[in-house]
């Protein structure tokens, strides 16, 4: 088994995709670092101070003003209201949620990439694991070996898991290393609040507690890994079902992008919460943002995602072991 997995890893590494992905991450991280740096500078210029309390207070006032203007949608209003209460809570407790530093940047980066960017990267790896063997014809060579079919597929699946964690790791490492040049490498022990829960338009703070940033990051990257695994598993299933790698990528791409669009407009279509793509933003439960649909919680989203992944896994193994290969 270990040899089979090693063999699969060899194939993945030979294709050099992992390095291309790392390069993409590096470029994007540099871009975002620069954007973030510029943003901080603009705020500083506008308010004329580096005091975070003043800046946060100004942000709260700006949000209040946006809330008072007519013509903003109900969903957006609710989102703003919850964020407002959260910012006020941070301010009242004298905690700076945005103290500059590489760990803070990592947090921001993973929160923004968990929904689309990271799944896309994983998809690039997972999409052709099986389908390329089918379209290239090498699948026959693979299956003529005296190994059970499920073992072959299992080795591919484990290789997918391993490369997924490599991708998440490269995001973590590169975002830390590159942003640290500008923002400094400190800030692991910065206290952060978590445990907010949202009830309608109100922010419930009864379970709120402080955790150091390193633990917060560990949680967020754990969740990012979970999301990537689910997306990877779904792509893996498609890769088993469809011979064409391009088609696999197309379908996954459509699903992921529709998820990003849907989450901003589904609040009135309640059963949409059972779709996997609107559940991908797991980190917003940790930071206490409003979920796309009322009643969604971390445990709910994780369960939905796990069921989708499990279903996909069963389908892949069933189809792969029963299918005629010619």
Partner 1 sequence: MSKRIIGMIVTICAATTVLWTIGLIVTIQDQFFYEASSIKQPKQTTGNTKKNDALSIVALGDSLTRGTGDETGKGYVGYVVDELKKQTNQHVQFTNLAIKGQRSAQLISQLKQKEVQRQLKEADIILMTIGGNDLFRGGEALRDLSTTQLEKEKEKFVQQLRTIFQLVRTVNNDAPVFYIALYNPFNDLDNGKETSAVVRSWNYAASEVAADYKSIICVPTYDLFELQVNDYLYTDKFHPNKEGYKRIGERVASLITLTKGEK
| Contact residues for partner 1, defined by CB under 8 A | 6, 9-10, 13-14, 18, 47-49, 53-54, 56-58, 61, 64-65, 68-69, 91-95, 161-163, 165-166, 168-169, 191, 193-195, 206-211, 215, 218-226, 285-286, 298-299
Chain centroid to CA 250 = 19
Length of the chain: 326
Rounded to a whole number of angstroms, the minimum distance from the CB of residue 34 to partner 1 is 26
- Using the minimum distance from each CB to partner 1, give the nearer residue, 126 or 224: 224
DSSP 199: E
Compute the C-alpha angle 172/177/182, nearest 5°. 125
Quick one: 6 or 318, whose CB is closer to partner 1? 6
Question: CA-to-CA distance for 83 and 70, rounded, in angstroms?
Answer: 19
Our CB check for partner 1 shows the closer of 218 and 246 to be: 218
The residue among 209 and 323 lying less far from partner 1, judged by its C-beta, is 209
Min dist CB 318 to partner 1, Å, is 26
Our CB check for partner 1 shows the closer of 24 and 247 to be 24
| Distance, CA of 282 to CA of 225 (rounded, Å) | 11
User: The tokens of 204 are what?
Assistant: 């419930």
In the complex, minimum distance from the CB of residue 224 to partner 1, in angstroms, rounded to a whole number: 8
Residue 190 vs 252, nearer CB to partner 1: 190
- Kindly state the smallest distance separating residue 48's Cβ from partner 1, in Å: 4
For the CB of residue 283, give the shortest distance to partner 1 in the complex, in Å.
10
87 near 63, Cβ under 8 Å? Answer: yes
Number of other CB atoms surrounding residue 189 within 10 Å: 10
To which residue do tokens 């993409």 refer? 24
Residues 28 and 291: their CA atoms lie apart, in Å, by 26
Cβ at position 225, least distance to partner 1 in Å: 4
């Amino acid at each position: 088994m270990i040899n089979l997995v090693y063999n699969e890893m060899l194939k993945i590494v030979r294709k050099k995709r992992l390095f291309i992905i790392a390069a993409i991450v590096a470029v994007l991280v540099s871009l975002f670092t620069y954007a973030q740096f510029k943003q901080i500078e603009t705020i500083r210029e506008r308010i004329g101070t580096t005091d975070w309390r003043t800046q946060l207070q100004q942000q709260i006032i700006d949000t209040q003003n946006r809330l008072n203007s007519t013509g903003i949608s109900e969903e957006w209003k609710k989102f703003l209201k919850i964020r407002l209460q959260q910012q006020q809570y941070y301010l009242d407790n004298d905690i700076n949620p945005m103290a500059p530093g590489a760990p803070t940047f990592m947090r921001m980066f993973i929160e923004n990439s968990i929904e689309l960017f990271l799944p896309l990267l994983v998809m690039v790896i997972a999409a052709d694991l099986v389908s390329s063997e089918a379209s290239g014809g090498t699948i026959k060579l693979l299956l003529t070996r005296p190994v059970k079919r499920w073992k072959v597929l299992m080795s591919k699946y484990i290789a997918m898991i391993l490369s997924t964690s490599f991708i998440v790791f490269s995001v973590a490492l590169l975002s830390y290393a590159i942003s640290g040049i500008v923002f400094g490498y400190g800030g692991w022990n910065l206290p952060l609040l978590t445990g907010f829960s949202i009830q309608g338009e109100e922010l419930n703070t009864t379970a709120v507690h402080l955790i150091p940033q390193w633990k917060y990051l560990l949680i967020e990257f754990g969740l990012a890994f979970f999301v990537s695994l689910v997306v990877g598993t779904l792509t893996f299933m498609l890769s088993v079902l469809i011979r064409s790698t391009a088609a696999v990528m197309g379908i996954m791409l459509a699903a992921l992008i529709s998820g990003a669009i849907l989450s901003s407009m589904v609040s009135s279509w309640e059963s949409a919460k059972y779709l996997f793509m609107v559940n991908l933003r797991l980190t917003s439960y940790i930071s206490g943002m409003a979920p796309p649909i009322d009643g969604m919680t971390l445990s709910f989203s994780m369960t939905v995602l796990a069921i989708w992944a499990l279903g996909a896994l069963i389908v892949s193994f069933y189809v792969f072991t029963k299918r005629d290969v010619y």
